[in-house]
């Protein structure tokens, strides 16, 4: 094709003319349009990409023909898209997952020699793009992989690639503690370092167990979780959102305001999108900032709060906390927090009492621990059943 020669020159007017024809649709012959797009991709990728991408994402048939033709000619022995920025690579990857479905991938007999066709070449490109992004170990690579996970939550292994990218990025951006931070660690026994998801889950479980201890401590706060009914002999537990609010305020004081986390800024807030009155989910962000104040790495945890009467008590750890929140937010840590209220002084007229399972707090903790251990690798989920029983 003459265009390849002109573009390789490089002859800018030829490039601009092809881009204009692709952009305004005057290049109506589909085969010629695909050939022109191939020439631009191989000879002038960076300058041509915005126009090429607009055409690719707008027309799935054109996109399929583009990638298959490119694979047939160049076999993707090297990724010709490697000079593109992280977001463009992620865009290509997500598009390939959607137009070259894994269920249609060619199946080859193991150990048997075969000719690798264009379709198989494209699937190889599709499958290695996430790894190439992870290897860049940049904050942008981590960000676009998080986006890809939310777009493609059912792609097996993608969450592992994201976790590897996060780990590589943390290693690349690691900086030693300052003298002031070392002094704080040695002076204050409550001070902690948070460098990984494991550190964050340990910190949160410990804080929630401290919350439980203070409920029944020397100056108990447990009465604040029960509403006394008329006559003063029976009580009703506060609603789930009120319990979540109480936990959120405690965590803000314990972790956010106290500054016990030495190397990160801890923010306690709500998961976006929950309606007022149903805000039982808490988002904890542990942010590591660079010398310029910009975030380098953010560890995210979601705490989902349930009362022991909740009808989804035995299913929401996976269905809501993991499958919804952790996947949607690409958060590595989830805490399933259950307030366990006893029935002895619970008002019998409150329907929530009858809805509460007739099992012990210890049995509830064990059952939820078993569910947490069954969560797929790549996420860390812990169940914390808090003793909310009246004295």
The Cα 44–Cα 14 span in angstroms is 11
Give residue 330's region: left, alpha or beta (phi > 0; psi -120 to 50). left
pLDDT at 278 over 80: no
CB atoms within 10 A of CB 260: 18
Instruction: Indicate the pTM of the whole model.
Output: 0.80
Check: CB of residue 384 under 8 Å from CB of residue 202. no
Q: Which residue has the tokens 């012959």?
A: 29
Q: What's the whole-number mean pLDDT along residues 35-50?
A: 85
For helices 12-24 and 45-58, give the axis angle rounded to 10 degrees.
10
pLDDT score recorded for residue 290: 74
pLDDT at 376 over 90: no
What SS3 class is residue 36? Answer: helix
Q: What sign for the dihedral angle of Cα 370, 194, 280, 345?
A: positive
* pLDDT category of residue 377 using cuts at 50, 70 and 90: confident
The Cα 109–Cα 129 span in angstroms is 24
Q: What's the whole-number mean pLDDT along residues 69-96?
A: 88
Q: What's the whole-number mean pLDDT along residues 252-267?
A: 86
What SS3 class is residue 174? Answer: coil
Q: What is the mean pLDDT of the chain?
A: 87
pLDDT at 378 over 90: no
CB atoms within 10 A of CB 169: 22
CA angle 283, 85, 76 (to 5 degrees): 120
Q: Could you read off the pLDDT of 325-375 as tens digits, one per residue?
A: 998 888 999 999 999 999 999 999 999 999 999 999 999 999 999 999 999
Per DSSP bridges, beta strands 333-340 and 295-307 are parallel
DSSP symbol at 336: E
pLDDT score recorded for residue 1: 53
Check: CB of residue 80 under 8 Å from CB of residue 69. no
Strands (E), 309-374: 333-340
Q: Could you read off the pLDDT of 154-189 as tens digits, one per residue?
A: 898 899 999 999 999 988 877 777 777 777 767 767
pLDDT score recorded for residue 275: 59
Tokens found for residue 28:
């109506």
DSSP symbol at 261: B
């Amino acid at each position: 094709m003459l265009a390849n020669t002109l573009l390789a020159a490089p002859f800018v007017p030829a490039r601009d003319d092809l881009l204009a024809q692709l952009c305004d649709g005057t290049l109506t012959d589909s085969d010629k349009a695909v050939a022109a797009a191939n020439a631009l991709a191989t000879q002038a990728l960076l300058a041509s990409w915005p126009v090429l991408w607009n055409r690719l994402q707008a027309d799935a048939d054109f996109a399929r023909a583009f990638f298959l033709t490119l694979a047939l000619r160049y076999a993707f022995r090297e990724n010709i898209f490697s000079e593109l920025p992280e977001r463009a690579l992620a865009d290509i990857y997500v598009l390939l997952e959607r137009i070259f479905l894994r269920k249609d991938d060619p199946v080859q007999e193991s150990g048997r020699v075969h000719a690798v066709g264009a379709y198989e070449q494209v699937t190889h490109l599709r499958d290695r793009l996430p790894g190439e992004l992870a290897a860049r170990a940049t904050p942008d690579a981590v960000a676009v992989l998080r986006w890809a996970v939310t777009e493609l939550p059912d792609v097996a292994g993608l969450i592992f690639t994201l976790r590897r990218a996060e780990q590589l990025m943390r290693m690349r951006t690691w900086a030693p503690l300052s003298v002031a931070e070392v002094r704080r660690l040695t002076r204050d026994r409550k001070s902690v370092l948070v460098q990984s998801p494991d550190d964050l889950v340990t910190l949160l479980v410990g804080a929630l167990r401290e919350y439980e201890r203070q409920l029944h401590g020397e100056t108990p706060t447990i009465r604040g979780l029960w509403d006394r009914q008329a006559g003063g002999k029976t009580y009703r537990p506060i609603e789930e959102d009120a319990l979540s609010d109480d936990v959120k305020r405690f965590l803000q004081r314990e972790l956010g305001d106290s500054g016990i986390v030495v190397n990160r800024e801890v923010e306690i807030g709500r998961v976006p999108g929950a309606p007022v009155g149903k805000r039982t989910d808490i988002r904890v962000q542990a942010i590591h900032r660079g010398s310029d104040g910009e975030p380098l790495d953010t560890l995210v945890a979601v705490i989902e709060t349930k009362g022991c009467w909740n009808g989804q008590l035995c299913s929401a750890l996976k269905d809501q906390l993991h499958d919804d929140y952790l996947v949607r937010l690409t958060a590595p840590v989830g805490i399933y927090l259950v307030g366990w209220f006893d029935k002895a002084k619970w008002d019998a007229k409150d329907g929530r009492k009858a809805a509460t399972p007739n099992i012990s707090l210890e049995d509830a903790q064990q059952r939820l621990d078993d569910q947490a251990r069954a969560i797929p690798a790549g996420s860390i989920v812990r169940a914390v059943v808090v003793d909310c029983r009246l004295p």
